Amino acid sequence: NSKVIQTPRYLVKGQGQKAKMRCIPEKGHPVVFWYQQNKNNEFKFLINFQNQEVLQQIDMTEKRFSAECPSNSPCSLEIQSSEAGDSALYLCASSRYKHSGNTLYFGEGSRLIVV
């Protein structure tokens, strides 16, 4: 059973509001991923970290999201100004290594509804 902890499980925000989600990766896993899963079951990779360093991120994340993984604190993903299209399940995953071939362990997700 995965021990990736995501909070909150649900959040409801108005358009233009900030929305912040947190993730505690599994112990001993320095690599953290964020994915967005929309209502059509489409997954979008957002960003990944190794410890505090960003490995990869998509353009949308760079422009509209603020994400970090500080040492000794939960990782976080924050949408600076929520839009209706941001309504989705945000999944955090962690793995032991950054190179290919590693199993990713997912949390339960944070479901964002933008009204």
Partner 1 sequence: GQQVQQSPASLVLQEGENAELQCNFSSTATRLQWFYQRPGGSLVSLLSNPSGTKHTGRLTSTTVTKERRGSLHISSSQITDSGTYLCAMEQASSFSKLVFGQGTSLSVVP
List the one residue from 21, 23, 48, 88 that touches partner 1 (CB under 8 A).
Answer: 48
Is the CB of 44 or the CB of 81 nearer to partner 1? 44
Cβ neighbours around 97 below 10 Å, total: 12
- The region of 22-30, 63-71, 75-83, 103-111 touching partner 1 under the rule CB under 8 A is 103-111
**C-alpha distances in angstroms, 30 versus 55, 58, 68, 102, 103?**
12, 20, 13, 12, 13
Q: Report CA 102 to chain centroid distance, whole Å.
A: 18
Is the CB of 90 or the CB of 114 nearer to partner 1? 90
Interface residues toward partner 1, by CB under 8 A? 2, 31, 33, 35, 40-43, 45, 48, 50, 55-56, 89, 91, 93, 95, 97-109, 111
